[in-house]
Amino acid sequence: MKSPLNLSRAFLLKLELHSHPKLLCVVRGAMEPLMEMLGFSESECRAIIRAVDEALSNIMRHSYHGRLDQVIDVLCRRVQRRAHAETGQGVEILMFDRGPAIDLAKLHGRPLDEIRPGGLGLHLIRDTMDSVEYTRTGRFNRLRMVKYVRPSKRGPNP
């Protein structure tokens, strides 16, 4: 099977993991120092890691239906924002799975006023990330999430 990972820009982190929930802690452990290195605040790091964890859990649950031996690729690279005279760096997180094509019309979280467990992951991902895109590339589902570093609210040091 041809990999979708023959992409041109250099990645800061590439992970290939099986769809076993026990591996989520490994991904969280790899993501935290990377997000810190890229300049995200402590709270932004936690939010990004939660979004990644939720996205991986959704792939495991919905794309692979709980099968523990399916492959998920996670790639992270630095990106630059160049919009509206703003510049800044951020991170692009790509996830690829080999499950069935996603029906984008069904890709929505449950209503927020409905009180019950589950169904809030998509809301969490979209609220955390600056951009979230789902596409199908050949036999692969691709999730692309982008988050930009927020400027510090502190003034210059005297």
In a domain, 154, yes or no: no
Q: What is the domain range of residue 24?
A: 13-148
In a domain, 125, yes or no: yes
How far is residue 85 CA from its own chain's centroid?
Answer: 26
In a domain, 4, yes or no: no
74 Cβ neighbours under 8 A, 6+ residues apart: 13, 14, 15, 16, 17, 27, 52, 56, 93, 94, 95
In a domain, 72, yes or no: yes
Check residue 103 and give its pLDDT.
75
In a domain, 117, yes or no: yes
In a domain, 85, yes or no: yes
pLDDT tens track for 101-155: 987 776 655 555 555 545 667 889 999 999 999 999 899 999 999 999 987 655 4
Distance CA 99, CA 108 (A): 18
pLDDT tens track for 97-109: 999 998 777 665 5
Q: For residue 88, what is the domain's CATH number?
A: 3.30.565.10
pLDDT tens track for 28-73: 999 999 999 999 999 999 999 999 999 999 999 999 999 999 999 9
In a domain, 7, yes or no: no
In a domain, 46, yes or no: yes
Number of domains in the chain: 1
